[in-house]
Amino acid sequence: MLIAAIAIVIGLVGLFWGADKFVDGAAATAYSLGVSPLIVGLTIVALGTSSPEMLVALFAALDGASSIAIGNVIGSNIANIGLVVGGTALIAPLTVHPDTLRRDYPLLLVITLLAAALMLDGELEWMDGLILLAGLILSLTWMLWLGVKESLRLSERAQVDEDPTANYPAEISVPKALLSLLIGFVILVACSRLLVWGAVQFAELLGISQLVIGLTIVAIGTSLPELAASIAGVLKDQHDITIGNIVGSNLFNLLAVLCIPGLVAPTQIEKIVLLRDLPIMGAFTLLLWIVIRRKNNLSMNINRWGGGILMLCFSLYIIWLVMVAHVTPHLV
């Protein structure tokens, strides 16, 4: 118990320090390469902060514990919206880029529906994994194309602006920016694994099922990089990275993470997941759209009231899971 507690504390401290380095590196990389922070958040930051989920899914599938992997994906997507977006918005209202609602959110909604459709038969097989993998490749290709297009647009703007770097941070070299990104990424992954290991030790001592561990302890643990990166992003006024990170992370969870158990160890999906957790994940995805408010004709945000609603719904979901697990463990 003592070792598990120490692992949790070290993991939490390391996550926030690593997230700070990671966001600094991501923002500097974006500015150095002429790529918008929104695209960086959707790709580099989202992939980096989704890496704990990928590792958990791989190790769980190899160990024959696919319920943890599936619960982790669904639970992480719920936690990313309820805990990460909600908690970050409570600290400071989040500015939402118009492209998020016009382009990125609809893609997340479509991928959510696709993943749900593949899971409705109660199985996650290799064909399902291949479909999700193909979706990942197409999504990454599309995002990279957007990145190139955005870089060209920013380059053209810089040629006509009198002071194109007025709102940009101090320029640093690309190698230094990438080094900061790499250091933050390594720390995030290592500390996530340490934190999840400690949390799972506590959960097993309490006799909680694999599915509930995946939906709660592991999901929240692997969502902490997103929370740490989002808080660091909003404190550094990098709102595009914050929202792009969450949308991109949920996309990669459904495509890159969920395909792993299907490809590595095809498995049966527990009925309670289809009846309870999958619909709740869809409801949280819709709730994210509902809490976004228009400030004016050019910008939108998620205010503290919206953040409070997301946090309240997430807290009620976790309480529900814990109560059901305690009263009727055979149902979870």
Q: What is the pLDDT of residues 210-265, one digit of tens each?
A: 788 778 877 887 787 778 778 877 887 776 667 777 888 898 889 988 888 888 88
What H or E segment, with its residue span, contains residue 1? none
Residue 313 has a pLDDT of 96
What domain range includes position 59? 2-159+172-331
pLDDT grade, residue 3 (50/70/90)? confident
Identify the burial level of 303 via C-beta atoms within 10 angstroms of its C-beta, where 0-12 means exposed, 13-18 middle and 19 or more buried.
middle
Structural domain count of the chain = 1
Residue 162 has a pLDDT of 45
* pLDDT, greater one: 72 or 29: 72
Can you say how many angstroms the Cα of residue 3 is from the centroid of all Cα atoms in its chain? 28
54: nearest Cα among 217, 246, 254, 247: 254
Q: How far apart are CA 217 and CA 163, in angstroms?
A: 48
Number of C-beta neighbours around residue 204 at 10 A: 13
Placement of tokens 């550094």 in the chain = 236
Q: How far apart are CA 137 and CA 60, in angstroms?
A: 23
233 within some domain: yes
Q: In what order do the strands lie in the sheet with 293-294?
A: 94-96, 300-302, 293-294
CA distances from 252 to 121, 140, 273, 321 (A): 22, 9, 20, 25
Residue 167 has a pLDDT of 44
pLDDT grade, residue 117 (50/70/90)? very high
Per-residue pLDDT of 277-304, as tens digits, reads 999 999 999 999 899 876 665 667 888 9
- For the chain, the residue count is 332
Q: How far apart are CA 112 and CA 115, in angstroms?
A: 5
- pLDDT (average), residues 63-67: 75
For the chain, what is the mean pLDDT?
Answer: 78
166 within some domain: no
Residue 263 has a pLDDT of 87
Identify the burial level of 308 via C-beta atoms within 10 angstroms of its C-beta, where 0-12 means exposed, 13-18 middle and 19 or more buried.
middle
Residue 166 has a pLDDT of 40
**Alpha carbon distance, N-terminus to C-terminus of the chain:** 25
Residue 116 has a pLDDT of 93
On the question of pLDDT at 125 being above 70, the answer is yes
On the question of pLDDT at 172 being above 50, the answer is yes
Q: Are 85 and 248 in contact (CB under 8 A)?
A: no
CA angle 93, 37, 28 (to 5 degrees): 115
Can you say how many angstroms the Cα of residue 148 is from the centroid of all Cα atoms in its chain? 23
140 within some domain: yes
For the whole model, what pTM was predicted? 0.77
pLDDT grade, residue 163 (50/70/90)? very low
180 within some domain: yes
164 within some domain: no
- pLDDT (average), residues 256-275: 87
Per-residue pLDDT of 85-98, as tens digits, reads 999 999 888 887 77
282 within some domain: yes
The four Cα atoms 57, 59, 64, 68 give a dihedral, to 10 degrees, of: -40
Q: What is the CATH number of the domain that holds 264?
A: 1.20.1420.30
167 within some domain: no
Q: Name which of 66-70, 75-79, 242-246 the model is least confident about.
A: 242-246
267 within some domain: yes
